[in-house]
């Protein structure tokens, strides 16, 4: 399980690094974020990718809402994923994975 936590943490950090790189890499050549977002959403597969991304965020938020014991904690963990993306989901998984595994292994 620790290896999985490390792998998820590494993937989250790699994604964060990619986001920072994309924001800083030659903005005068590639344009700003909103300009590029407009281009992506004007393409059929770009729009499908954005919808797929947000459906994934909804699924993650549902998982958080059904696994967190406190409504407030669930809301504080689920809401930021719609802005911070899967970097935030990786943080949640790294922190909550031992609890999730223990609950799944528990026999009733």
pLDDT digits 0-9 by tens, 51-95: 999 999 999 999 999 999 999 999 999 999 999 999 999 999 999
What is the pTM for the complete model shown?
0.83
Residue 107 has pLDDT above 90, yes or no: no
Per residue in 7-64, pLDDT (tens digit) is 999 999 999 999 888 878 766 666 677 788 888 899 999 999 999 999 999 999 999 9
- The alpha carbons of the chain give a radius of gyration, in whole angstroms, of 17
Report the pLDDT value the prediction gives residue 54, as an integer from 0 to 100: 96
- Is residue 74 within 8 A of residue 68, CB to CB? The reply is yes
Q: Where are the chain's structural domains?
A: 2-105
Could you tell me which of 28, 7, 30, 87 has the C-alpha nearest to residue 53?
87
Report the pLDDT value the prediction gives residue 108, as an integer from 0 to 100: 66
User: What gap in Å lies between CA 16 and CA 97, rounded to an integer?
Assistant: 20
Report the pLDDT value the prediction gives residue 29, as an integer from 0 to 100: 63
Half-sphere exposure of 18 (CA within 13 A, CB side): 9
């Amino acid at each position: 399980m620790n290896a999985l936590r490390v792998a998820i943490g590494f993937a989250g950090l790699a994604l964060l690094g990619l986001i920072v790189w994309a924001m800083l890499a030659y903005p005068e050549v590639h344009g700003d974020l909103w300009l590029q977002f407009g281009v992506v959403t004007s393409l059929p597969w770009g729009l499908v990718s954005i919808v797929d991304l947000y459906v994934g965020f909804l699924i993650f938020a549902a998982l958080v809402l059904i696994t967190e014991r406190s409504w407030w904690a669930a809301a504080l963990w689920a809401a930021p994923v719609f802005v911070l993306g899967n970097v935030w989901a990786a943080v949640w998984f790294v922190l909550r994975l031992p609890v999730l595994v223990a609950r799944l292994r528990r026999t009733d």
